Amino acid sequence: MLSKRSKYAINALVYLARQAKVDPDRKVQIAEISEAQHIPRKFLEAILLDLKNNGILGSKMGRGGGYYLRKPATEVNLAEVYRIFDGAIGLLPCVTYNYYEKCEECRDEETCGIRDAILEVRNKTVEILKENTLQAILDTEDRKIANHK
């Protein structure tokens, strides 16, 4: 399950991507994101700072300042965001890409059927998360809104 931090991060990023689509030079203040996405401001401040420290967002101080995407919406995917806030995507430590650890009870990784099954789940999950960029999410929302009318 996505943590609340991941979910809020994704909501904030999608909001910023939508704002950038309208005006690519616009910087968005925390208060606006917080209000529009119903995210507690203090919580959002820490989330946006983590996203900035990981190179997804930039910020500008002072008049006309705020947060903005440092990467195009087509290059920010859910796998990247998930890993920042929730860590490993795999269900077992032996199948994770960035957080690999050998399982304590494992006798032989090469012949472990459990590992193979969970690795398949991890690979499909990562594939789906990577396909879902901010742009893909915006496109899905726009299509659903157009079909709803």
Is there a single domain that holds both residue 95 and residue 54?
no
> Is position 139 within any domain?
no
Q: Work out the average pLDDT over 42-50.
A: 97
Residue 101 is predicted with a pLDDT of 84
In a domain, 145, yes or no: no
pLDDT at 149 over 80: no
Same domain membership, residue 84 and residue 65: no
pLDDT band at 104 (very low <50, low <70, confident <90, very high): confident
Closest CA to 134 of 1, 14, 12, 11: 14
124 is a domain residue: yes
Q: Give yes or no: residues 35 and 61 share one domain.
A: yes
Spell out the long-range contacts of 16-24 with Cβ–Cβ below 8 A and sequence spacing 24 or more: 16/57, 16/67, 16/68, 16/69, 17/69, 17/73, 17/76, 17/134, 17/135, 17/137, 17/138, 18/138, 20/68, 20/69, 20/73, 21/73, 21/138
The verdict on residue 148 lying in a domain is no
pLDDT at 138: 97
Q: For residue range 73-99, what is the model confidence (pLDDT) as tens digits? A: 999 999 999 999 999 998 888 998 788
Do 34 and 91 reside in the same domain of the chain?
A: no
Inside any domain, residue 137: no
Domain enclosing residue 116, as ranges: 78-132
Residue 111 lies in a domain: yes
User: Of 25, 48, 69, which residue constitutes the final position of a domain?
Assistant: 69
Q: Residue 24 and residue 13: Cα distance in Å, rounded?
A: 14
Residue 86 sits in the same domain as residue 32: no
Query: In CATH, what number is assigned to the domain containing residue 18?
Result: 1.10.10.10
Are residue 125 and residue 101 in the same domain, yes or no? yes
Q: Is residue 149 part of a domain?
A: no
Average predicted confidence (pLDDT) for the chain? 94
If one counts the domains in the chain, the total is 2
Q: What is the mean pLDDT of residues 104-119?
A: 89
Q: Looking at residue 142, what is its pLDDT?
A: 94
